[in-house]
Structure 1
Amino acid sequence: MNAGNEQLPGLAETDNGATVVMSYGMGVDSTAILLRWLTDPSSRDFDLQDLVVITAHTGDEFDQTLRDVEEVVLPELRRHGVRFIQVGRTQRKTTASGEGVAVLDDSTAPQRLHVDGHKLSDEMLAAGTLPQVGGARMCSVHAKGNCLDPIIASVTAGRRYRHVLGFEAGERARAAKDALFNTEHRTGWYPLLDWGWDRTRCSDFIAETTGRRWSKSACSYCVFAMTTASGRQALVERYRREPQAGARALFLEAVARTLNERQTLIAGSSAAALVAGAGLTEVQAQFDAMLDECEHAVYEVRRLTRRSSVRAHGRGITARSVRAVARGSREQMEEELRECAGERRIGADGIVRHVVRARSEQLPALEHFFVVCPAVVEDKARPGFEVWWQEATTDAVLF
């Protein structure tokens, strides 16, 4: 983490002595906290000049969320002169000192949200993968946490501060986990737990204060929002209002699914099936247009799962190599695929692949095929892959 002794490029020169730093996610919970503090001075024990509000943009928020923040929250921040810092990434990887983190705006009179820069979806497309449900939310760590940490360190400059997070009354476990990261300088603070406010109470407060119902903050393709029936239905309604967001989700899923038929945004189903089932024809039309307009490539995909080095008969790591062997229009690449090695197969997902080696469960498990995909995925192989592949193919011949 940046020790706070160096000013990050783009940060204002003025130091307002921040002792309260709010990670503002623009959703229901954190918006309720911020609006209450701005409209009800008795709800806080600090002066607003001691507050810094920081947002880390993923670049893939729904337009409605952006409009709500610009029309409701930004005017309040301007009226009260609250410092608002907007940050984002300029590249996939960032460092604790702030390399790769861009300060998009730092102002006490913010006029608009700045969402340009390296998007989380750019990262997903380049890798040909999707955010994963379960374990650490690495998408949030990369796009938000790793951006916020060096900025917070810089604006607090070694002072003790309270770090405000919008965990609502039903999220005590998340607050307890966050508190493990407290230090002699940083103390996590969860006002909604102090107030006993759950998400319904937060939503009602915002409606009472602003006259509008706030939507949940999320990337337009968020896998976590798709884990429940209610979450999927909410996304359907948002896609109906913002078809371009739905089309973007389908595009991300299509790229990842082409390289790995098991990768979809919905476990046991897909966003494509969700959109088709809901009759979202405009979403489908915009998605089809995206496919028609983009360059395509024939990719060679190899995947292997090694034997465990510590457990007999156990599964070790899974690694993948992706390499573009030709580029051109979609029609050209479909013809190019016909010349590739392997058995021509149409998967259950409707995607044509030329399968050189079908996936097996016997270790080492190998998979090798050629497929046409939008040319957005970078050539990439895990270090050591070629050696492992050679070893695995030799084992497969011997056994």
Structure 2
Amino acid sequence: MPRAASPQLSLFGPEPDLDVVINWGLGVDSSAYLARMLTAPASHGIDLERTAVLYMATGSEWPETRLLVEEFMLPLLREHGVRFVQLARNGHLQQDGFTVLDDSRCPERLYARGAWTLWEDLESVGTVPQQAGTRKCSLWAKGAVGDWWLTQVFGGRPFRQIMGFNADEEGRRFGDQAASKIPGRTGEFPLIDWGWGRRQCENYLLGRFGMHWPKSYCTFCCFPTSMGALPTHLERMRTHPDIAGEVLRLEYTAMSLNPNARLYGRKSLLEMFDPSSRRDRACLEAFEHELDMPWALYHVRRLFLLTADGRRRPVMRSTERLDLGRPQQLARRLASTSHSHRVDVEHDPVYGRARTWVRPRRTTWPMAEELFATAPARVIDKQDKGFEQEWHALLSGSTRQPPLA
């Protein structure tokens, strides 16, 4: 049975018989390392009795990756008696802790998700992964979870953590070393040391198992554009139109509350499907099916503030659900109220979103933004700490009243 723990009240203690941890993301690179290492563990400096393979479940892995892992890699781990630990988050906050989904030297299945997934975290606040800056979603769903477990198990004593960065990603070695904050940890990067890039890893797995191993990433990942793999990603979507429909709903909801929340920067996923194409149409029909659910009318406010020395602060947001209903019903309510206040309403005649701006975003900071929008009812009420005080301080001279106040 899965076991839950919090960072404060741990079910685990230090494990003196463990000194090596191998991070496994299920993808090409780390799978190639595992498969190659297991041909002769000792020659690669690995004592399997003192080693654990660590997997952090994000909840949205592609089906073909899960199938390949269960068909080829789990039997390999069972054959060699490798300890396989599967972890996941319990909730949005760090104090929610994590769950050990499985901890076994004879793993029978891959646990694809835990109690709380990255998808649920994004959808509950109406956003998508951000391309700019660090990969916060990966740090949240994987890095933080693994660090909790490592801190409890090793308790500050020395250990080796093997990372599956390939030789095409030399820079990640230095990023990992700079970011590492766990006492006693030494990062190792065997694929870089071997000179194995992505192509070598793919060829090894193809030769070993006779199967092409696709890249592992979340179905809603925003990075295929930066990886130069967008055409391949879209083909993957077309192969799984049900997944495409879900991801389109995630993006559409986020863009309802913030038109800039496109998955791929300047272009949305929705724009990439051609309704005249049979395969694309299947994805769009799945999207329409996803939208056949209760909708909500939301009041959204944002603050774009500066620090005392003129630097931009993180954007603050308040989201409040005002009503529930069908999209047409909510759109009529918004249109009626907005008309009486002489505010224009944007309406999407294809998929149903309605939106009106009370305070459009300007081009210079500091500024405030305020709108009402309809969207699938998956977004929770959420307001950043201190928002109301900052809102009133910035707009203290404004007399404009929102149409649904």
Judging changes above 3 Å, is the alpha-carbon distance between structure 1 residues 368 and 340 closer, same or farther for their aligned structure 2 residues? Answer: farther
Percent of pairs with identical residues: 33
Distance 2:9 2:365 in 1: 52
Secondary structure of 2:393's aligned partner: helix
Give yes or no for the alignment of 1:132 onto 2:144. Answer: no
**Bigger mean CA deviation after superposition, 108-117 or 26-35:** 108-117
1:16 touches 1:49 (CA, 8 Å); kept in 2?
Answer: no
The alpha carbon displacement at 1:44 in A equals: 1.2
**Residue of structure 1 aligned with 2:380, choices 378, 381, 399:** 378
Secondary structure of 1:290's aligned partner: helix
Residue in 2 that maps onto 1:248: 246
Residue in 2 that maps onto 1:209: 208
Name structure 1 gaps, 5 residues minimum.
none
Secondary structure of 1:226's aligned partner: coil
Secondary structure of 1:331's aligned partner: helix
TM-score of the superposed pair, with normalisation by structure 2:
0.88
**Bigger mean CA deviation after superposition, 44-53 or 202-211:** 44-53
Distance 1:86 1:112 in 2: 10
Residue in 1 that maps onto 2:222: 223
Aligned-CA RMSD value? 2.6
Judging changes above 3 Å, is the alpha-carbon distance between structure 1 residues 318 and 41 closer, same or farther for their aligned structure 2 residues? Answer: closer
Residue in 2 that maps onto 1:27: 27
Residue in 2 that maps onto 1:299: 298
Judging changes above 3 Å, is the alpha-carbon distance between structure 1 residues 157 and 7 closer, same or farther for their aligned structure 2 residues? Answer: farther
Secondary structure of 1:171's aligned partner: helix
The alpha carbon displacement at 1:386 in A equals: 1.2
The alpha carbon displacement at 1:332 in A equals: 2.8
**Bigger mean CA deviation after superposition, 129-138 or 194-203:** 129-138
Name structure 2 gaps, 5 residues minimum.
1-6, 401-405
Secondary structure of 1:104's aligned partner: strand
Distance 1:193 1:82 in 2: 23
Residue in 2 that maps onto 1:357: 359
1:302-330 CA-partner distances (Å, limit 9, x unpaired):
1222244212xx65443221111101233
The alpha carbon displacement at 1:331 in A equals: 3.1
1:8 touches 1:151 (CA, 8 Å); kept in 2?
Answer: no
Residue in 2 that maps onto 1:105: 102
Residue in 1 that maps onto 2:3: none
Judging changes above 3 Å, is the alpha-carbon distance between structure 1 residues 7 and 54 closer, same or farther for their aligned structure 2 residues? Answer: farther
Distance 2:267 2:10 in 1: 44
Give yes or no for the alignment of 1:150 onto 2:152. Answer: no
- Aligned positions, number: 385
Judging changes above 3 Å, is the alpha-carbon distance between structure 1 residues 369 and 129 closer, same or farther for their aligned structure 2 residues? Answer: same
1:340 touches 1:354 (CA, 8 Å); kept in 2?
Answer: no
2:25 touches 2:55 (CA, 8 Å); kept in 1?
Answer: yes
Secondary structure of 1:39's aligned partner: coil
**Bigger mean CA deviation after superposition, 146-155 or 165-174:** 146-155
Residue in 2 that maps onto 1:233: 231
Task: Give the residue type in structure 2 aligned to 1:283.
Answer: C
Task: Give the residue type in structure 1 aligned to 2:162.
Answer: V
Judging changes above 3 Å, is the alpha-carbon distance between structure 1 residues 305 and 104 closer, same or farther for their aligned structure 2 residues? Answer: same
TM-score of the superposed pair, with normalisation by structure 1:
0.89
Distance 2:81 2:8 in 1: 25
